[in-house]
Amino acid sequence: MQLKIYSSFSGELINEIVKNRDDYVIEPFLDPEWINIWWKNIGINEYDEIKYFVFTNNDKPKIIIPLVTRKFFNLKLVEIAGGKVSDYLSPIFNKKYYFSQCDLNFISHEILKYFDGSDLVIFRKQKKYSNYTNPLLSLDKPILGLHKCYNINFNTFSKDKKIKKIFNDNRRQIKKLASIGEVKFIHSKEFDEKKNILETMIEQKEERYKQTNVWNMFKLNYYKNFYSDLIKSDFYFLKLHISAIKVGKNFISTHFGFIDDKTFYYLMPSFDNKRFKSFSGGNILLENLIHYTQSKNINVFDFTIGNENYKKKWTNDKNDLFEIILTNSFFGKLSKFIILIIFFLKRIKYIDKLYKKFYKLLHR
């Protein structure tokens, strides 16, 4: 195995992946265009540098890991590119290639050697796959992280009592809304309409962030610019999906997500919590999106990460995400030990809130 390091996704490398797409596991958040837009807007403002580690065999890429660096207090951290807006950070890897222990040792050794001034290398939000082995999960003992992901597997999806109740409630709410104006499900294809829905989504999200007293990403203009640039771009693998429920001239709920292969990613939903709070706009939009994805023969409706209660009502499948932490200094070892203690304590009910505050602070 050999290592090549790039400062950006090269055209040659992209062509190789695109040409042999079926050979690779590629999470949509590592689409080359997504990462480029993320770095241009967010990464460059929150991290120090980005490097693309491409491990090859016989001159063919076997695993691609975009890595960024930053400081957290006095700790020097290395992480996978994507930050807070990317829900899955598994690397791009060849699913047909067997990663030997020698390969895995080489990968960890080269990363730690290149970042020899770092304390911790943290591979966050790593997926376990049923049919393939994520090679990063073999670099060290996987740590059960904070995040879980929820999805609907349509092969085993049935309208149970909870879902039927939501659908029945939606019928009642739509009748009430119809007295205000025409109720329409919009799957936006024109740029101006996408832009209009995106701006509404950001406005509704900001209002919700303020109400719930959580971190408001949109206070920072470069987060707004990131989403604005996404709707202007052509991607290699994913396809953006911008939608809304419109009543008269008002968007009462919106969604910004995408489709990749046979999966629909439910990423950034919002709803009007001022004028239409009592009309279940989010549920109405969700029902329409589920019908849409089923009509397109999509296998999985992925709610991505987050423990919101509404996801548990809709979904029939739940999976844990993991973290791998490699240490490169004494302070790194000490920090990992502290993190492991906190990860253990978080399972105790009364420690969980404290843990979540620490975790959010760590990943800012």
| Residue 347 pLDDT > 70 | no
The pLDDT, as a whole number, for residue 261 is 85
Who contacts 120 (Cβ-Cβ below 8 Å, separation ≥6)? 75, 76, 77, 78, 325, 326, 327, 328, 332, 335, 336
How large is the average pLDDT for residues 280-284? 92
pLDDT band at residue 353 under the 50/70/90 scheme: low
The burial of 335, by beta-carbon neighbours within 10 Å (0-12 exposed, 13-18 middle, 19 or more buried), is given as buried
pLDDT band at residue 293 under the 50/70/90 scheme: very high
307 or 120: which leads in pLDDT? 120
Say how many CA atoms lie within 13 Å of 253 toward its Cβ. Answer: 23
| Residue 83 pLDDT > 80 | yes
The pLDDT, as a whole number, for residue 164 is 87
Farthest-apart Cα atoms in the chain, separation? 67
Give residue for tokens 């490169």: 328
The burial of 275, by beta-carbon neighbours within 10 Å (0-12 exposed, 13-18 middle, 19 or more buried), is given as exposed
- DSSP H helix total and E strand total for the chain: 11, 14
Q: Are 250 and 275 in contact (CB under 8 A)?
A: yes
Q: Map out the domains of the chain with their CATH numbers.
A: 2-146+321-362 (3.40.630.30), 156-298 (3.40.630.30)
For the stretch 25-67, pLDDT in tens is: 999 999 999 999 999 999 999 999 999 999 999 999 999 999 9
Say how many CA atoms lie within 13 Å of 209 toward its Cβ. Answer: 14
Q: What is the mean pLDDT of the chain?
A: 91
227 or 306: which leads in pLDDT? 227
| Residue 338 pLDDT > 90 | no
73 strand-pairing partners = none
pTM of the full structure: 0.91
Tokens of 274: 């001022």
Quick one: which H or E segment has residue 227? helix 221-230
The pLDDT, as a whole number, for residue 354 is 60
359 or 142: which leads in pLDDT? 142
Which value, to the nearest 10 degrees, does the dihedral of the CA atoms of residues 81, 215, 126, 320 take?
Answer: -170
The pLDDT, as a whole number, for residue 47 is 97
For the stretch 145-195, pLDDT in tens is: 778 899 999 888 877 788 888 899 999 999 999 999 999 999 999 999 999
In terms of Cα–Cα distance, which of 336, 357, 361 is closest to 118? Answer: 336
For CA atoms 35, 242, 265, 46, the dihedral sign is: positive
How large is the average pLDDT for residues 11-23? 90
